[in-house]
């Protein structure tokens, strides 16, 4: 193991993410079903360098030490900062580590949430820039950050197919799509994963998840730890956390892992303590009774 991937000098506990089981992306890339989202290793507003660069580096090292073998990032995170840190800390990458990234979003400043930019030249530039920053010859999973409604879908996907033919992209994923959009894209190219908003408090993408599970497409929920008022004292989420001696976000993450074998949560954090807490959620076994209570509470909210 290279120095960049070594853990701290303290005794190494078991890697809890391995308890989450695995999903094989596109029938080709096996990953444990608890990944790491690298958005929060950047500065405030996902802009610029992190306030504590050493801590961000430590989070990446600890993620790999804990058994994480799927890291999700994007050109827009920083922009470019997240990808640069990942390469700086983890390259040469451990065998089996899958790094997914995204392109197709333009941001002007910290306050700009970003807008879709699916122009072919932009998608090519984003992909080739990610290859350089991540020090890769091929990106295992490159995702379209969101479909640009102002550019013909055939032109956006055609660019991705060209990049695949050139060996720059291995597998392709989508983000922020409906079932209809997913079907339209799948008519043009194989889709390996979908990354949509999904958590205990917001299940509006349940129909997309159902399609993904049925067709062997990985489903990557972003904002996975959101719980809203459902985490308040006296609610089933809090009861379950108390019974298991864990936090409500850990129960929310365990709940996600129980929803589907295609589910690959990617909780992100800039804190090693929170990273370990998230990883330990993979060890939580929720009973059928607990799952029923949790689901009923959310439905009746």
From CA 150, how far away is CA 117, in angstroms rounded?
8
Catalytic residue among 77, 93, 200, 223: 77
Token readout for 229 is: 């008022």
Catalytic: 77?
Answer: yes
From CA 41, how far away is CA 259, in angstroms rounded?
28
From CA 4, how far away is CA 91, in angstroms rounded?
7
Q: Let me know: does 139 contact 98? Beta carbons within 8 Å.
A: no
From CA 91, how far away is CA 131, in angstroms rounded?
13
Beta strand pairing status for 29-32 and 22-25? antiparallel
Instruction: Reply yes or no: is the peptide bond before residue 92 cis, omega within 30 of 0.
Output: yes
Give the three-state DSSP class for 74: coil
From CA 127, how far away is CA 133, in angstroms rounded?
10
Tokens 């050493």 label which residue? 54
SS (H, E, C) 181-247: HHHHHHCCCCCCEEEEECECCECCCHHHHHHHHHHCCEEEEECCCCCHHHHCCCCHHHHHHHHHCCC
User: Could you give the C-alpha distances from 291 to 66, 237, 247, 248, in angstroms and in order?
Assistant: 27, 10, 16, 14
Q: What are the catalytic residues?
A: 77
């Amino acid at each position: 193991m290279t120095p960049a991937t070594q853990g701290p000098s303290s005794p190494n506990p078991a890697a809890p993410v391995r308890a989450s089981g695995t999903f094989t992306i596109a029938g080709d890339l096996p990953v444990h079903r608890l990944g790491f989202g690298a958005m929060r290793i950047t500065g405030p507003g996902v802009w610029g360098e992190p306030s504590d660069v050493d801590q961000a580096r430590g989070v990446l090292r600890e993620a790999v030490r804990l058994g994480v073998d799927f890291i999700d990032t994007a050109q827009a995170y920083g922009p470019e900062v997240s990808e640069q840190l990942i390469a700086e800390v983890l390259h040469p990458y451990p065998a089996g580590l899958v790094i997914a990234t995204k392109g197709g979003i333009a941001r002007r400043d910290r306050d700009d949430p970003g807008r879709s930019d699916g122009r072919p030249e932009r998608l090519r530039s984003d992909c080739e820039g990610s290859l350089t920053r991540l020090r890769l010859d091929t990106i295992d999973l490159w995702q379209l950050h969101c479909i640009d409604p102002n550019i013909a879908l055939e032109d956006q996907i055609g660019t991705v197919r060209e990049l695949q033919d050139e060996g720059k992209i291995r597998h392709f994923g989508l983000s922020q799509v409906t079932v209809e959009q997913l079907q339209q894209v799948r008519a043009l190219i194989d889709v390996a994963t979908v990354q949509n908003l999904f958590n205990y408090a917001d299940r509006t993408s349940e129909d997309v998840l159902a399609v993904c599970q049925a067709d062997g497409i990985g489903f990557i929920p972003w904002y996975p730890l959101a719980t809203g008022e459902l985490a308040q004292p006296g609610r089933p989420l809090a009861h379950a956390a108390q019974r298991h001696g864990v936090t409500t976000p850990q129960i929310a993450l365990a709940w996600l892992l129980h929803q589907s074998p295609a589910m690959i949560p990617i909780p992100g954090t800039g804190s090693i303590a929170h990273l370990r807490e998230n990883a330990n959620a993979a060890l939580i076994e929720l009973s059928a009774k607990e799952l029923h209570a949790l689901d009923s509470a959310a439905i009746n909210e």
